[in-house]
Structure 1
Amino acid sequence: MTQAVNDRPGSGVLPRIGRWLAGPIPVSVVLALVVGAVFMLVAGVDPISGYRAMVSGSFGTGMGLANTLGRAIPIIGIGIGIALAFRAGIINLGTEGQAVLGALAGGFVAVYMPGPGPLVALCAMVTGVLAGAAWGLLAALLQNSLGVPILLATLLLNYPARYFSSWVIRFQLKDPSTDLVASKQIDPGVQLTALVPAGPAAEAVRRTFGPMSPVTMILTQVNWSLVIVAVLVIGAIFVNRRTRYGFEAGLAGQNPEFTRYGGVKPGPLVLRTMALSGGIAGLIGVLIVIGAPNTRMIEGHIVQTNYAWTALLVTLLALYRPLGVAIAGLFFGAIIVGSEAMGRDLGLSPQIAAVIQALVIILLAYRVALPRFRRKRQDAAPEDPPGPEPQSPAAPAAVAARTASAPTAETTETGGER
């Protein structure tokens, strides 16, 4: 019996891989790269040379790979927070503000709290989590208490968070000894150092693997945020698959009415989800501030990096799956770093990265929506008028097969929508 199941057409590994490659995500990425090549041609750049420079700049060298990981880490972290909310059917567009306030609160602790460096760093991260969670909870309370849609609440709350943080850093925390609009320097003992910090251990790594090898660059240039974000990804997978909250959140995202009938109250679920999502965003904000090579709280730094909105695109591309968020975040980080390398080598604007990212999401949305649109058109199409029509030799069999299978297909589709 098992052998018969395994021998069924389409049940092997290769057919499943083929179906995935023909699915919306790979096709959308390929089409976006094709359209990006057209933009390069318009700009007078050979697309093959452009994409070769992009791949070489992001993965072809040890420094490029380290830079790609450095860009991907905050994108993946914030993306995990967004994915947890979206999976529960809660559209959290406020991760930028949650990360900004987390960075401000945690950075304040990192700069001014006395004590041993590791303890201060831990307190800064906890403070950032609490600040981000509180800002997320505010949006949840506005929806539960006043009926303000959480999409609007989270989106609009980005602005007071952004401007309050700018005011505090510019007028209250600015260090007069620097021309930057930034706080005092963070004590090196508080910073998250590279995986292998400078010193004898780093020299040993360089002698063993070579000074510019990918292993050396990753270990000596990427800080411990990489490990923290990896733990977040694993934790999100565990929460989604092994906890009651993960089950309820996933069910609420798919069928909120059925969730209510099952006894799950939507109000508390929204509160828990927004606290978790905002807390993760706040944590990533702190990691950006105290993670080497950053040494200060700089006005507008998190907003200018655009990490939160890139993470939103990553989440949509990954369809809210934590492992998919990690892969898509690495892909988008490579596009950003590679486009910068392409700009240096070929003189092409790095904004091509934003074009490709936007095209991926637009094409993905089109590919996902197209089958539904076709199905609706088929459901709304009038029945064929009676009367004779020209038929090929195979037409009678085809008409009979369609007539026999139509009720079954309709019943199956209607049952699936319920």
Structure 2
Amino acid sequence: MSALQRFGRWLAGPIPVSVVLALLIGACFMLIAGVDPLSGYAAMLNGSFGSGPGLANTLQRAIPIIGIGIAIAIAFRAGVLNLGTEGQAGLGALAGGIVAIYVPGPAALILLLAIVTAIAVGAAWGLIAAVLQNLLGVPILLSTLLLNYPARYFSSWLIRFRLDEPTSDLVASAQIRPEVQLSMLVGRDSTLADTLRGTLGPTHPLTAVLTSVNWSLVVLVVILVAVVFMNRRTRYGFESGLSGQNAEFVRYGGVKPGPLVLRTMTLSGGIAGLFGLLLTVGAPNTRLIEGYFVQTNYAWTALLVTLLALYRPVGIVIAGLFFAAIMVGSDALGRELGLSPQIAAVIQALVIILLAFRVAWPRFRRRGRGAAGVAEAEPPLDEPPVEHSPLTAAHAPEPLGAGVTDPASATAAEPKESGR
């Protein structure tokens, strides 16, 4: 099959169709609100990618979404349903932020210590759920979801009653020293920034990105490359991917599921804690603010991104940019046309709902034909093949250790070949 044919089949698959349908339904909501859909989407596109400040804002919002999405994907790929990244990232941000604010010492050393602390605390909070499953049989799906609440309320209590800075109008801690913060890629007051503004202009995309996006972008790129390498080239990546496809096959292969779950939750929680901290200490943020991480809703947006990308790291980058662009573009839509920015949440929800329906519908049709006594054979020519999705119960596995797998398919058929 040629590359053009494969691309055409992908375009007819669940993800592109779901996105297009969600945008069409969003256009209907705009019409009901009295807004021209073409003008509305043009304003969203221009607000998110059409200007330098818009592009910088989109990238800045996409970084925590993509980072936490990668943390979720690591767990889901291994068949571990980690829904606790909100708590893991929140506590990582809290612990690392306390180190950054209150521990004295050289700025570079304090920042490194804050990062290590955030990773350790996020990993430890994830380990609680893994231990509960291994020792007591508590499903990780439930324990991680419920552990978000003590993490959320403990953080709020600590900031409000122990760390609150009386001189601030917000319920927030003291300020983080500027030298401890993750600075912009190019300092706004630096000579290079002045040169960029004078040569390219202050609103040029390159000038805006370099002077408005902090070094967490570089950290994200490093994590992304490391996770892709881990999935494709390491023993853990092979075992976790195989576990997501068929947990029983992994047991027969000599891999103990308990330690695998511990390693997976440690890695997933640690990455979530890291990006929670980067959101806190990355310029221009300067304080620990009560409820800030929860209000941003980044953890749950990252979950939607992970489902849309089918756990693929590169797909998470694309989906994360898409969702961040919708969020930034909806703000521009509200400013220019007076439409509520909540249209972004509507479109995001529609994408996932339609994706679930689009993936499940061919299976329901085949099941109905089978119940009617129709022999099941190849799908009709006008029906595109069902792609690998987190919402399907069975799918064709990818090359072992190379792609992503589906935690919902623990009973999928064993691969035809096995080997290291």
- TM-score greater than 0.5 by the shorter chain: yes
* Matched residue, 2:408: none
Asked if 1:300 corresponds to 2:275, the answer is no
Task: Work out the CA distance in 2 between the residues paired with 1:131 and 1:275.
Answer: 10
CA offsets 1:208-243 (integer angstroms, 9 cap, x no match)? 322110000000000000010111111111111111
Mapped to 2, the partners of 1:332 and 1:107 lie a distance apart of 27
| Structure 2 counterparts to residues 87-236 of structure 1, below 5 A | 87-198=77-188, 199-236=190-227
Q: How does 1:8-407 map to 2 (within 5 A)?
A: 11-198=1-188, 199-382=190-373
1:322-376 CA-to-partner distances (Å, cap 9, x unmatched) read: 0000110000000000000000000100000000000001111111112222232
State the one-letter code of the partner of 1:220: T
CA shift, 1:383, in A, is 5.4
- Supply the distance in 2 between the matched residues of 1:118 and 1:44 (Cα, whole angstroms): 53
Aligned residue for 2:403?
none
Q: Quote the sequence identity (%).
A: 71
**Counterpart Cα distance in 2 of 1:179 and 1:114:** 25
What one-letter code is carried by the residue in structure 2 that aligns with 1:289? T
1: CA distance between counterparts of 2:233 and 2:36? 49
Q: CA RMSD in A?
A: 1.5
Q: How big is the shift at 1:200? A: 1.1
Question: Runs of 5+ in structure 1 lacking a partner?
Answer: 1-10, 385-400, 403-413
Q: Tell me the amino acid that sits aligned with residue 201 of structure 1.
A: L
Matched letter for residue 292 of structure 1: A
Give a deviation string over 1:91-137, Cα, whole Å, max 9, x none: 11000000110000000000011111111111101100000000000
Pick closer, same or farther for the CA change 1:18–1:415 going to 2, 3 Å.
Answer: closer
Name the count of aligned residue pairs: 381
1:58-81 deviations in Å (ceiling 9; x for gaps): 000000000000110000000000
| Larger helix proportion of the pair | 1
Cα 1:181–1:369, aligned 2, differ >3 Å: closer, same or farther? same
Question: How far off is 1:415 after superposition?
Answer: 12
Matched AA of 2:46: S
Per-residue Cα deviation, 1:134-178 (whole angstroms, up to 9, x for no partner): 000001111111111100000000000000000000000111111
TM-score normalised over the length of structure 1? 0.89
Residue 378 of structure 1 aligns with an amino acid whose one-letter code is R
What residue ranges of structure 2 are gaps of 5+ in the alignment?
379-393, 397-411, 414-420
The offset of 1:379, in angstroms, is 2.9
More displaced stretch, 290-299 vs 199-208: 199-208
- Highest CA radius of gyration, 1 or 2? 1
